[in-house]
Amino acid sequence: MNQHKADSEKEPINSWKLYQRWCKMADNTRESWIAAGKSMQTFSTLANAKIAEVVHSSKSPVEVSTVEREKFICLA
């Protein structure tokens, strides 16, 4: 996928030019992009997580009846 410059500049940016731009970017701007990427990864992970039932009891698993189960939601 090509990154494109503003509409006034028609030439697409190749990966080398994009890398050069990244290296010349101010540290605080680069860190903001990195933080945003990490946030997106976290939200994507949470969005794709599956819900699982966890049995919570002080009794051994053999002694727990279906009536005594406490349901908790956790990420699998």
Q: Which residues of the chain have pLDDT under 50?
A: 1, 67-69, 72-76
Do 64 and 55 meet the contact criterion of CB atoms below 8 Å apart?
yes
Q: Which residues pair with 55 in a beta bridge?
A: 71
Handedness of CA 63, 66, 68, 70 (dihedral sign): positive
CA distance 5 to 37: 21
CA distance 49 to 47: 6
